[in-house]
Amino acid sequence: MSNRFPENFLFGSASAAYQVEGAYQEDGKGLSIWDEWVKLPGKTFQGTNGDVATDHYHRVEEDIALMKEMGLKAYRFSISWTRILPEGRGRIERKGLEFYHKLIDGLLENGIEPVVTIYHWDLPLALQKEYGGWEDRKIVEDFKAFAKILFDEFHKKVKYWIVLNEPNIFTQLGYVMALHPPGMKDMGMYLKTYHHTALVHAYVVKLFKEKGYEGKIGSSIAYTPGYAKTNDEKDVEAQRRYYETVNHYIMDIYFKGKYPSWGYAYFKEKGLAPEILPEDEKVLVESAKMTDFIGINYYQSATLAYNGEDGIGLSDFNVSGEKGNFRESGIPGLYRQVYNEKLKYTDWDWAIDPDGLRYALVEISERFGKPILISENGMGAFDEVSEGKVQDGYRIDYIREHIKACYDAIEEGVDLMGYCTWSFTDLLSWLNGYQKRYGFVFVDFEKEDLPRIRKDSFYFYQEVIKTNGENCLKK
Ligand code: BGP
């Protein structure tokens, strides 16, 4: 291969509705579980919320103009369910659909491929209140109806669909760690809701294929590859248990249609495994075959060590950005995640490991044999404006190294469709407020008119796109 990425490679960037749009009660929009959660005392960093966010809802033309200036090939964004269906089902709000037409048309007119995430965590509050949202199988019918509205409305314009964003994260944080709505700590409920997400993915993929819409469809999983801390057999066993109960568990049900046997048996023995109905098996296996691609959100790797039955449990995350607060976290009897001396860490103690991305891509490609889209990758940092500039060389280094890792993975035979950074503009971090920034475009949240300022990384990524990655691959 020449020292460039394939010509049709999608160098893009991503966002999610709640994190950028704002306008949370405008044009008939209904409330989501996040609109409620952020107002409960103590749930988010310093009580930050997405009521206004970057005001993307009103500044969509300006944001698209910046994307065009950069030369972005793809923009991944999500659709707010309650803009379209304020009560979660039934009455359709036309103004919501019009907003997304405006966004999609604007992207297409500027040569930017829209990549649509159907669900990025903002469940209609009405469905949570009525039947517990993801806790009930009723979610499948409501989700399918929502997805069908989107397919019918946008299928001529949108070629790439991501059904769910990080189902493993929103169920874990919502049902085990009580950090996301609805704030529960119940392992069995986590596994049950995760199973329901897999069913939603499966039925929506089936619907898409059976109705013959054109385009490609997948879902995006947050994937954290894991290494054993040492070659001691106990650490190696901890790594295996991590794969069986985390990585293979979350991936296989989506992309093979069944759970890994050791992992499922482990949860069953504990009385925690979800019920699998005979019809579930059928649709899960069928749709796994129909799924066109695997979306991967990659931020970091994990290093795993032995954790005895009386070992440590799950710990909260660093949400303050005070570096050096890495805390071991684990499941007693399975594994514990430890600090990796060989790696550098971000201010929020996330391991920086570009080679982990190559490793993850190769293992996923070998296990599932499907094309992969990196739907998120990026570095959260405290950026500062000085004399009108944001010098985020650390982010440039981070992205350059991860792009190199993508190239290496392609050379190792991975069918990689594209790479979307997280994120295009700065935006709301669910638990870390506005101080944890990821964008190429700085948003000054202190000022009422939310000015946008191009960071150094903006010009770097512009060059990445212009040279199709060549500027990262030079020795
Ligand atoms: C992913 C989510 C994104 C985004 C990102 C960064 O898990 O899909 O929505 O928030 O992580 O995470 P954070 O904002 O917690 O640093």
CA distances 259 to 137, 203, 266, 336, Å, are: 19, 17, 11, 22
Q: Catalytic annotation on 141?
A: no
Q: pLDDT for 302-314, tens place per residue?
A: 999 999 999 999 9
Mutation pick for ligand 1 pocket among 376, 426, 434 (CB with most ligand atoms within 8 Å): 376
How many beta carbons lie within 10 A of that of residue 418, not counting itself?
25
- Among 165, 430, 435, 436, the mutation site with the greatest number of ligand 1 atoms within 8 A of its Cβ is 430
Q: What is the Cα–Cα distance from 124 to 176, expressed in whole angstroms?
A: 21
Q: What is the pLDDT, as a whole number, of residue 253?
A: 98
Ligand 1 geometric centre to CA of 430 (Å): 7
DSSP-assigned beta bridge partners for residue 116:
77, 161
Cis before 423? omega within 30: yes
* Alpha carbon of 259 to ligand 1 centroid (Å): 26
- Sorted by sequence, the CB contacts under 8 Å of residue 373 that are 6+ apart come out as 10, 115, 160, 218, 220, 293, 294, 295, 296, 416, 417, 418, 420
Q: What is the per-residue burial (b if ≥16 Cβ within 10 Å, else e) of 240-277?
A: bbbbbbbbbbbbbbbbbbebbeebbebbeeeeebbebe
Residue 434, amino acid = Y
**Per-residue CA distances from 209 to 146, 149, 217, 235 (Å):** 16, 15, 9, 43
Residue 236 dihedral angles phi and psi, to the nearest 5°: -65, -40
Could you report the per-residue pLDDT of 186-200, keeping only the tens digit for each?
999 999 999 999 999
Round the average pLDDT of the chain to a whole number and report it.
Answer: 97
Predicted TM-score (pTM) of this structure? 0.97
Residue with CA nearest ligand 1 atom 15: 429
Chain segment 52-94, per-residue pLDDT in tens: 999 999 999 999 999 999 999 999 999 999 999 999 999 999 9
Given 93, 135, 244, 376, the catalytic residue? 376
- 199-216 pLDDT, tens digit each: 999 999 999 999 999 999
pLDDT of residue 36: 98
Instruction: Mark whether 214 is an active-site residue.
Output: no
Compute the half-sphere exposure of residue 269: CA atoms within 13 Å on the CB side of its CA.
Answer: 7
| Distance from Cα 297 to the centre of ligand 1, integer Å | 9
Residue-wise pLDDT tens digits, 221-250: 999 999 999 999 999 999 999 999 999 999
pLDDT range class, residue 2, cuts 50, 70, 90: low
Say yes or no to pLDDT of 128 above 80.
yes
The predicted-structure confidence for 38-47, as pLDDT tens digits, reads as follows 999 999 999 9
At what angle are helices 354-368 and 248-255 packed, to 10 degrees? 40
> Which backbone phi and psi does 440 adopt, to 5 degrees?
-85, -20
Confidence tier at 108 by pLDDT (50, 70, 90): very high
Residue 429 CA: nearest ligand 1 atom is 14
Q: Which of 166, 210, 281, 328 is catalytic?
A: 166
State both tokens at 59: 């500044």
Around ligand 1, the residues with Cβ closer than 6 Å are 16, 19, 165-166, 169, 222, 297, 376, 380, 422, 429-432, 436
List, for residues 356-402, the tens digit of each pLDDT value.
999 999 999 999 999 999 999 999 999 999 999 999 999 999 999 99
